[in-house]
Amino acid sequence: MKFILEVNNKTTYKFSKKKFMGIFQRSLALAGLNCLENETLELSIALVGEDEIQKLNSQYRKKDSATDVLSFCEYESTKALCEKKQIIDGQFIFIGELILCPTYIERNADEDGESMEFAITYITAHGILHLLGFEHSKKMFAFQKQVAENLVTSKNKK
């Protein structure tokens, strides 16, 4: 599998594209979607402030509050993604866009006693899994936790 990642950071927080690429790759590996193994997948990530994510949450989800992540899926389900109905130019599959709010994520991380690195990894994996067609479930939450533990916790133990 090949990966294309676009990151648009509209905040003062510093996140490396390499870090997001690792989350993207690890989330895909855990998802186990064999139908995508020979494909090139594209993901877009935007980091925004609380005002902007609140506007988007209100507009698209009818919830007038800030949130940690919004996932805008290109496919309605894992089945549709695997059928690759929307391959652009036959070259890659755009799976969707994530909108992340670092200030919201950081505040929740502080309240939960987690590092910002763990929280951003956990939430980004959550959003990617939604883009792959996963619904909230024990399996989904276990996958995102495994991504965060693998990329953050195990790294910090070295």
Q: What is the DSSP letter of 92?
A: B
When pLDDT is averaged across residues 121-145 and rounded to a whole number, the result is 95
Provide the residue ranges of all domains of the chain, joining segments of one domain with +.
2-157
Question: To the nearest whole number, what is the mean pLDDT of the chain?
Answer: 91
pLDDT digits (tens, 9 = 90+) for 36-89: 888 889 999 999 999 999 999 999 999 999 999 999 998 888 888 888 755 555
User: Which residue has tokens 């391959």?
Assistant: 87
Distances 119 to 41, 108, 134, 155 between C-alpha atoms, Å? 24, 8, 19, 15
Distances 4 to 25, 102, 107 between C-alpha atoms, Å? 10, 22, 30
CATH number of 2-157, picked from 3.40.390.30, 3.40.50.10190, 3.60.15.10, 3.40.1370.10: 3.40.390.30
pLDDT score of 84: 72
When pLDDT is averaged across residues 133-157 and rounded to a whole number, the result is 88
Q: What global pTM score does this model have?
A: 0.92
Distance CA(157)–CA(121), nearest Å, equals: 17
